[in-house]
């Protein structure tokens, strides 16, 4: 009697784990793609996956004879480097991974558990979208998922891996999550596909050009990371999770390091050119001050004039924001404002201190920026810094002019400790622009306007564009030797580690989205 029951159990288990069957698995492999179960095995610590709702079947009518267990999505929990996560992975071998009523109920159930427990949620996308045969119930399922994504936002980290198609309304679930990783030449996301675009707008565009990993990581900013393959994708998820806490009341894990927190670097100043208008790579400064030269950049291909990412300093996770003089001279624009604002708000949600390195000539001028809303989008950066209550440490390295000085973690936005190098230039305008206004008449009557302008600009730079006037007013807490940047920032972070900050009660602010 027991033998028959166990025989049925093993048959059911085998059937459920076969997904859409061997033929469909082979088709998946022929496309160079792994199955949902193979992806889960890559991500999780060996032997830790516990699957839920394994035997759920889709709603089917009399015209359908085939019953698929799992209904096109695998859900459950496991561990990554010993830490608990919840996950769901669409199974393309079952009805193209399309979302039906029961599949959405499975996903919603696992999301609810992740929120209750306080553990990160990882979604692996490879889906044909809403299951047309189930009509409104498919759309209803997406609505339930969007609601949970929003509820979970700021409570648990949410990570999405795009390793296949994701179209129509389905794209908005990953868009609400914190980080999206797309696999090059495999992951695709778009609201309307190439066929519809051609029919409605007469535009010929390929799937990759419209919604591939490169398009979304460089143009739209939808994707935070591009993975070269599925193995790289799972490694990136593991690396990302290593910087993050489990939830919003937890703190990020420490990472042991042999890098001396008191290490000084006499060569750091050599990275900065003598000419303040000559570009240099701010990443070299970042790598020299963080633990073990290990910096995990986010949104690397999008708005590269401003850099964001995670690192450790003194074995603690920090978020870094830095102007990049190599691109647009480090000026702020619409895309970089959006990029930094979202990163700041993520760090603040999950107790990650923010370190800001400043070298910017201002906001990018021009009709394109003005007409596309630089005022509206630029204000998000101000809002995000003001709202953030985690420790905020700022170091001005070079230029810090005008509104961009204020926006980049200034004391006015309640940064906790503000350092500056002796090379810092803090002013309303850059020297050349300032003397063009201040000394307009003198320049008009000068015998040699070019030489006069240079002389006046040099005088302005010496008199006004330095960190000492700000230091006299307490707006800069300390002008530091560049070689001491690492130990000074680490000590400042340590001093602010117990920071508590509360404001007046409100439901939420009204950020200028």
State both tokens at 340: 């930094």
Our answer to whether residue 398 is catalytic in this structure is no
Q: Please pick, among 118, 193, 301, 403, the residue that the annotation labels catalytic.
A: 403
Q: Residue 422: what pLDDT?
A: 96
Residue with tokens 């090379």: 423
Q: What is the pLDDT of residues 215-255, one digit of tens each?
A: 999 999 999 999 999 999 999 999 999 999 999 999 999 99
Q: Average per-residue pLDDT in the chain?
A: 92
φ, ψ of residue 507 in degrees (nearest 5) = -65, -55
61 has pLDDT over 80 = no
- pLDDT class of 62 with cuts at 50, 70, 90: very low
Our answer to whether residue 123 is catalytic in this structure is no
Q: Please pick, among 118, 168, 301, 402, the residue that the annotation labels catalytic.
A: 168
65 has pLDDT over 60 = no
What are 425's strand-pairing partners? 399
- Looking at per-residue confidence, does 64 or 48 come out higher? 48
Name the CATH architecture for the domain at 2-243.
Answer: Alpha-Beta Complex (3.90)
60 has pLDDT over 70 = no
DSSP for 222-282, written as a single string: --SEEESSHHHHHHHHHHHHHHS-SSTTS-PPP----S-TT---TTHHHHS-SSTTS---H
Interval 9-37 mean pLDDT? 88
Q: Is 398 helix (H, G, I), strand (E, B) or coil?
A: strand
CATH 3.90.226.10 in the chain, residues?
A: 2-243, 268-430+466-495
Our answer to whether residue 404 is catalytic in this structure is yes
Q: How far apart are CA 503 and CA 505, in angstroms?
A: 6
Task: For domain 268-430+466-495, give the CATH superfamily.
Answer: 2-enoyl-CoA Hydratase; Chain A, domain 1 (3.90.226.10)
Q: How far apart are CA 60 and CA 41, in angstroms?
A: 30
SS3 for 299-325, per residue?
Answer: CCCCCCCEEEEEEEECCEEEEEEEECC
Interval 133-144 mean pLDDT? 84
324 has pLDDT over 90 = yes
Interval 285-304 mean pLDDT? 97
* Four-CA torsion 266, 270, 275, 278, nearest 10 degrees: -140
Our answer to whether residue 169 is catalytic in this structure is yes
364 has pLDDT over 50 = yes
Q: Please pick, among 21, 118, 154, 169, the residue that the annotation labels catalytic.
A: 169
Q: Please pick, among 103, 227, 404, 492, the residue that the annotation labels catalytic.
A: 404
């Amino acid at each position: 009697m027991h033998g028959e029951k166990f025989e049925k159990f093993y048959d059911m288990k085998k059937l459920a784990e076969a997904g859409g069957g061997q033929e469909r698995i082979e088709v998946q492999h022929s496309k160079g793609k792994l199955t949902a179960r193979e992806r889960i095995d890559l991500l999780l610590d060996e032997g830790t996956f516990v699957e839920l709702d394994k035997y759920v079947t889709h709603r089917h009518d009399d015209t359908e004879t085939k019953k698929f267990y799992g209904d096109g999505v695998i859900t459950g929990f496991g561990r990554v480097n010993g830490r608990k996560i919840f996950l769901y992975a669409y199974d393309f071998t079952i009805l193209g991974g399309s979302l039906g009523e029961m599949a959405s109920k499975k996903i919603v159930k696992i999301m609810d558990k992740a929120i209750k427990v306080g553990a990160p949620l990882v979604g692996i996308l490879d889906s044909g979208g809403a299951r047309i045969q189930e009509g409104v119930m498919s759309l209803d399922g997406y609505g339930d998922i969007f609601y949970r994504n929003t509820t979970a936002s700021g409570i648990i980290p949410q990570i999405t891996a795009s390793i296949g198609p994701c179209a129509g309304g389905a794209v908005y679930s990953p868009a609400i999550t914190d980080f999206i990783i797309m696999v090059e030449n495999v992951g695709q996301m778009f609201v309307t596909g190439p066929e519809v675009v051609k029919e409605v707008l007469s535009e010929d565009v390929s799937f990759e050009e419209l919604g591939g990993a490169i398009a979304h990581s460089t143009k739209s900013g939808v994707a935070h990371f591009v993975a070269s393959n599925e193995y790289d994708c799972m490694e990136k998820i593991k690396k990302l999770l290593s910087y993050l806490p489990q939830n919003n009341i937890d703190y990020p894990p420490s990472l042991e390091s042999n890098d001396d927190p008191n290490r000084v670097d006499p060569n750091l100043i050599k990275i900065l050119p003598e000419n303040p208008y000559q570009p240099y790579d701010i990443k070299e400064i970042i790598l020299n001050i963080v633990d073990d030269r290990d910096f995990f950049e986010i949104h690397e291909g999008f708005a590269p004039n401003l850099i964001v990412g995670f690192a450790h300093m003194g074995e603690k996770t920090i978020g870094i924001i830095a102007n990049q003089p190599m691109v647009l001279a480090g000026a702020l624009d619409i895309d970089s404002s959006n990029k930094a604002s979202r990163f700041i708000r993520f760090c603040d949600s999950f107790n990650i201190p923010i370190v800001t390195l400043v070298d910017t000539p201002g906001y990018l001028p021009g009709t394109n920026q003005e007409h596309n809303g630089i005022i509206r989008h630029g204000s998000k950066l101000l809002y995000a810094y003001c709202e953030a209550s985690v420790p905020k440490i700022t170091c001005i390295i070079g230029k810090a002019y005008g509104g961009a000085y204020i926006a980049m973690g200034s004391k006015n936005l309640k940064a906790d400790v503000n350092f500056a190098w002796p090379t810092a230039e803090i002013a309303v305008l850059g020297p050349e622009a300032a003397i063009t206004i201040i000394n307009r008449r003198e320049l008009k009557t000068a015998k040699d306007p070019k030489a006069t302008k240079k002389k006046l600009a040099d005088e302005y730079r010496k008199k006004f564009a330095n960190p000492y006037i700000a230091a006299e007013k307490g707006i800069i807490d300390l002008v530091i030797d560049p070689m001491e940047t690492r130990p000074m920032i680490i000590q400042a972070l340590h001093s602010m580690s117990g920071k508590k900050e509360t404001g007046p009660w409100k439901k939420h602010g009204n950020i200028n989205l």
